[in-house]
Amino acid sequence: MQINGHTELYGIIGNPVRHSLSPLMHNAAFAALGLNKVYLPFPAADAAAAVAAIRALEIAGVSVTIPHKQAVIPLLDGVDPVAVRIGAVNTIVRQGGELLGFNTDWLGANRALSRELDLAGARVLLLGAGGSARAIGFGLQEAGARVTLASRTPENGRELAQHLNCPWLPLAQAGQHQADALVNATSVGMAPQAANSPLPAAALANFPVVMDIVYAPLETRLLREARAAGCRGIDGLQMLLHQGAAQFELWTGEPAPLEVMRQSLLAGLNHKT
């Protein structure tokens, strides 16, 4: 694809964003379908200024990452009802002259998990109480799963559990729980905690499916020990891939080329290591 006067511009806003693998993933997808589009990182410390720039430059769509997922909401012309419930937007789509907000983080988690189990009626233990846990928790409930939340910080955990209307456990007690799936939505397992796991290895046999949203390293200690315990593991690259695929489909109306996107992410991870 040759960039020209008709090339549509997409990108990611946040601070920092230059480390993001999203440009590799989306540019590979655009190229695979022969679309005259390009995706760039846009470091942005101020959400209002970033959204104003999107409007002024007629940028066709952006991903939104930390710390702007909540701050952009009042700056948009409309927000998808599920994103409103989650309280966070990670995708902006230009439709006509309007900027509309969506959340695909929950779709990414649901699509990754649904490859291993039927989410309707499934019991899921969700670790964490941050933005990722919030999106994943709402998404699981949208699919009919029964969620139990566990976190290190009681205040944050109980607040999110109240929003989700689900039980809460201290993380120290999570290993005694049994469920159809375990999802780690904490930062335990990535640097500087790459040698750690949120649960003891002996507890993992309680969860037939274990998903970790950490993707660097691709095989976390949690996943390594889960597979050793006979669990079916889902690495963090799957959520990143499927949330990106949902973004691609919102922007283009085309089915996402999943294998092309997956290979670009793997290449990006291998280059970083």
Quick check: is 37 catalytic?
Answer: no
Which residues have a Cβ under 8 Å from the Cβ of 46 and sit 6 or more positions away?
none
The DSSP letter of residue 72 is T
User: Cis peptide leading into 217, omega within 30 of 0?
Assistant: yes
Sign of CA dihedral 141, 146, 149, 150: negative
d(CA 199, CA 223): 11
Token output for 259: 């294998």
Amino acid at 71: A
Work out the widest C-alpha separation in the chain, in whole angstroms: 59
The DSSP letter of residue 188 is B
Which one from 26, 37, 68, 69 is the annotated catalytic residue?
69
Residue from 232, 217, 227 nearest 187 by CA: 217
User: Cis peptide leading into 81, omega within 30 of 0?
Assistant: no
Which positions are annotated as active-site residues? 69
